[in-house]
Amino acid sequence: MKGTLYIILVTLLTLGTPVLAQTSELKALDQQVDALRKQGEYGKAIVAAKKSLSLSEATFGPDHPEVAKSLNNLAVLYRLNGEYVSAEPLARRSLAIREKAYGADDPRVATALNNVATLYRKQKKYADAESLAKRAVTIFEKRRGPHHREVGVSLGTLAEIYAEQAEYEKAEPLMRRSLAILENSYRVDHPDVATALKNLGILYVWQGKYADAEPLLKRSLAINQKTLGPGHPSVASLRTFLSQLHERMGKGEKN
């Protein structure tokens, strides 16, 4: 974080007052993007994120770490909106900029690796996703320690890659460890905790462990309703999944 602030400060002092105004505008745009993303307004967020990227490139140049941040924000939005083809080149460019700026084993590089791995998983490019996710976990464990929240997030990414390939024996211990780390790192109603609960719950459903899955999914839904609001797409999706689970459990009881 200090390194990033130093780079920005040097840039601002070098380029002068106009950059200060542009940086203020960038901050406002990024806040708008974040607010729209949390509301599930991905289309509107993408429009604002594109403006942020253009302004960031004009202000700092195409290979600056601040541009990598803007690229990543836009890539994540495209991924959330299901536009994987649009997301991939942005995510890969963000990773390349960070590797050049910070070195191969920097935590900021690991974050970018984790984001690209998630995108590859969404496209079912599992071998590529696994390689990047493992690298992210290794960097975070080395630089942050084994119990850091970023380790928890990256373990969850790796576990999802295994789960989607039905490698449940690999996925479950990683998901359980991810959840434990995140519960210990955050308050109990943090969105990352909700994601970890949901992922482990879904894994249990896939394994037919409905009774184990239900309380995890209910807790995830409650957190998401509180933090995201009842109309958010993630809340609607999870509510539907829970309804389907209850139908399965009901059929199982009748049989």
Percent of the chain with pLDDT over 90: 81
How far is Cα 93 from Cα 57, in angstroms, rounded to an integer? 13
- Is the Cα torsion angle 105, 109, 115, 121 positive or negative in sign? negative
Q: What is the pLDDT of residue 232?
A: 86
Domains in the chain, CATH or no CATH each = 29-102 (1.25.40.10), 186-255 (1.25.40)
Digit-coded pLDDT (tens) for 142-185: 999 999 999 999 999 999 999 999 999 999 999 999 999 999 99
List C-alpha distances in Å: 82 to 43, 73, 75, 79, 92: 11, 14, 11, 5, 17
The reported pTM is: 0.85
Q: What is the largest CA-CA distance in the chain?
A: 74
pLDDT confidence bin for 208, thresholds 50/70/90: very high
